[in-house]
């Protein structure tokens, strides 16, 4: 980056270009459904949980569904803990049989309305450590579709079964 580019960035920062926040941004809408994804990037199945969660937010919008911060809740960040209490439903997505996200949240007294395990419920195979990118777009779509189906059941009045 050229020195002139840095000067423009600095000027915008000083003038408030990066700090401008609209009233709509200040008044954040709490999504109706919160997603806790394992999102362990060390394996394909963990990566899939996060990629699919992002696709669900893209598809349904962040007014309907939002990704919750597992590390923030585990570290008792008060804002994140308060936000999830305001959500109508929580969905936890784990990539494998170890069920890390579900177990970690259970230690904090958080029980999801829906639990989805990629190995157990969708029969996807965890390929092990360092397989972070060993997944396909079709697999991301398949996982995202399963999450969207769970969310949509809430909004159509159908009971969602907690598959544990």
Mean local confidence (pLDDT), 129-154: 95
Model's pTM, two decimal places? 0.79
CA distance 163 to 149: 14
Mean local confidence (pLDDT), 139-158: 90
CA distance 148 to 151: 5
Mean local confidence (pLDDT), 86-114: 96
Given a cut of 50, is residue 25 above it in pLDDT? no
Give the helix ranges, DSSP H, for the chain: 3-14, 23-26, 44-60, 70-74, 78-85, 100-107, 118-122, 137-155
User: pLDDT over 70 for what percent of the chain?
Assistant: 79
Predicted pLDDT of residue 18: 47
Predicted pLDDT of residue 13: 54
Determine if residue 39 is left, alpha or beta; phi over 0 gives left, psi from -120 to 50 gives alpha, anything else beta.
Answer: left
Architecture per CATH, domain 22-155, reads as 3-Layer(aba) Sandwich (3.40)
Which DSSP state fits 69?
Answer: -
* Residue 114 parent element (H or E): strand 114-117
Given a cut of 80, is residue 27 above it in pLDDT? no
Mean local confidence (pLDDT), 102-116: 96
Predicted pLDDT of residue 4: 52
More confident residue, 2 or 148: 148
């Amino acid at each position: 980056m050229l020195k002139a580019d840095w000067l423009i960035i600095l000027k915008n920062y000083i003038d408030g270009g990066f700090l401008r926040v609209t009233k709509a941004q200040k008044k954040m809408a709490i999504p109706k459904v919160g997603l806790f994804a394992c999102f362990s990037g060390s394996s394909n199945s963990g990566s899939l949980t996060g990629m699919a969660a992002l696709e669900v937010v893209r598809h349904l919008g962040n007014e309907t569904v939002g990704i919750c911060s597992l590390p923030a809740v585990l570290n008792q960040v008060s804002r994140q803990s308060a936000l999830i209490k305001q959500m109508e439903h929580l969905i936890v997505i784990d990539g494998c049989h170890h069920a890390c996200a579900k177990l970690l949240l259970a230690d904090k007294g958080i029980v999801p309305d829906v639990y989805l395990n990629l190995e157990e419920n969708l029969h996807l195979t965890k390929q092990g450590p360092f397989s972070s990118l060993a997944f396909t777009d079709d697999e991301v779509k398949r996982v995202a579709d399963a999450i969207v189906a769970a969310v949509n059941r809430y909004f159509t009045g159908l009971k969602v079964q907690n598959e544990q």
